[in-house]
Every structure is written in C-alpha cells, then in structure tokens.
Amino acid sequence: MPALWCPRLGDRSGVNHPRMTYAGRRIAFVLAILIAFLLPKRSEHERGRCNDYVVRPWGFYLLGEVFDRDIGFTYSRGSDCR
C-alpha cells in the first residue's frame, strides 16, 4: 500500500483533492518548480591535487550546462586540498 493511499480515492494520490481548483494546481506546480530551481548543487573541478568546488542553485547549474557558460550565481565556493 503506497504511503499516500486514501481509501476514498482508491489508487489515486491524496495530492489531487477533488476540491482543488485548476488555479490551485497551477500555483502548486509553479511553487514546486521554483523550489526545485533553488535546490543546491555542488560542482567540482579538479586542479592537480586540489578540487575546486562551487555550490550553486540547481536551476542555474542546469542553465549553465545548457548554454555552455557560467551564469555567475553561487551560494558558496572553495577548494578541498589533500
């Protein structure tokens, strides 16, 4: 039995409530995309014995990979030398 199983709705998820309007679903979808866009992603670059790393939002990382350029927005940066 899935964690979100509701006996009244059968196999459908409890997230899709019958009283939830189309506008409510759209707002929830946009909020979910915005939250996912801001999740942190760590990127590492090797440089000899040291690894430089950058922590940036996942959405900016994805845009940088798609357009093959550095967007320039990071949460933090540093290096791990061993």
Residue of 16, 70, 22, 25 whose CA lies nearest to 43: 70
pLDDT digits (tens, 9 = 90+) for 1-33: 445 555 555 555 556 667 778 888 899 899 999
At 34 the pLDDT is 92
User: Looking at residue 69, what is its pLDDT?
Assistant: 85
Q: What is the pLDDT of residues 34-75, one digit of tens each?
A: 998 999 988 887 777 788 888 889 988 888 889 888 777 888
Closest CA to 40 of 78, 75, 80: 75
CB 57 within 8 A of CB 40: yes
CB 37 within 8 A of CB 59: yes
CA distance 56 to 36: 12
